[in-house]
Amino acid sequence: MSFSSEVKEELAKVLPQARHCRLAEISAIMHFAGQIGANGDGSVAIGFSTSGSSLIKKGFTLLEITFNIGKSLKSSDPEFEAFTRAMGDCYDKVSDLVLKSSCCKRAFLRGAFLASGSVSDPGKGYHLEFVCRNDAQADQIVKVCSDFEIPARMTVRRGENIVYVKEGEMIGELLSVMGAQNSYMDFENRRIYKDVSNTVNRRVNCETSNIRKTVTAASRQLDDIRYLEEHGILQTLPDTLREAAYGRLEHPDATLSELGAMMDPPVGKSGINHRLAKLSEIAGKRYN
């Protein structure tokens, strides 16, 4: 099962106790995925444009416990009238009156996510989005997210209004706000593990690259010194350079500081570096 389906399955099981929250959640579901169809015989059908079974189940449960709406329904039923009055235009945004309290805003985001949301597997990348019917709905999602200090952005993709969140930490926060506590823990564990292993990998790559540079420089230095020795040039050079050259030949693994300390008298890191650079410079002139 995808992470997105796991989140939805968990959200579908969260049933608010208070009627105001139930109203906010079913409003979001109807506005983001609801369909109301009237038949010629006066009967009406309420449905959801989704293939997700978790949304369908949650939607019908909320309709039943909030509006006492069951399977068979007529347009003349008082329950249906109460329902349509409460919903308003499902192609517009949800009434702000329904979203006054923080508890209801959470329920709204949960319903909207169940109806139109998706989230990437945290192992693959960070992306959570809502597909909205229009920009008024997109605006409303952004606004409600910002009430929880979650920065969401809008874009249009293939004519659809999308609201998305990209930052891992903020996606975790949103999962928690919507009430998907288990998914939130799972997401955070995987996110933190991923961030830590990325940092470790970066550090290892960086160190490997530094080691490689050091090894390359050291082996080139040894080649230069051997060249000078084989061509009888080393013997003609000043004592300080000869001492450095033999020191390096005998101790190819020594660091510059260690090598400097072996000189008589000892020299610092930059002193020995200068001598070795001089040796390479002389060898370089002879090569060419």
Residues engaged in binding Zn ion (CB under 5 A): 18, 20-21, 101, 103-104
Q: Which is nearer to Zn ion, 21 or 63 (CB)?
A: 21
Tokens of 268: 């610092």
Q: Which residues, in sequence order, are CB contacts of 288 under 8 Å at separation 6+?
A: none
Q: Which is nearer to Zn ion, 144 or 244 (CB)?
A: 144
Name the minimum Å distance from CB 14 to Zn ion: 13
Q: Which is nearer to Zn ion, 21 or 170 (CB)?
A: 21
Q: Which is nearer to Zn ion, 20 or 269 (CB)?
A: 20
Name the minimum Å distance from CB 20 to Zn ion: 4
- How many helices and strands in the chain, by DSSP H and E? 11, 6
Name the minimum Å distance from CB 170 to Zn ion: 23
Q: Do residues 184 and 197 touch, judged by C-beta distance below 8 A?
A: no
Among 250, 255, 273, 243, residue whose Cα is nearest residue 215 = 255
Distance CA 157, CA 164 (A): 11
What are residue 123's phi and psi, to 5 degrees? Answer: -75, -20
Q: Which is nearer to Zn ion, 18 or 204 (CB)?
A: 18
Distance CA 4, CA 274 (A): 61
Name the minimum Å distance from CB 8 to Zn ion: 21
Name the minimum Å distance from CB 101 to Zn ion: 5
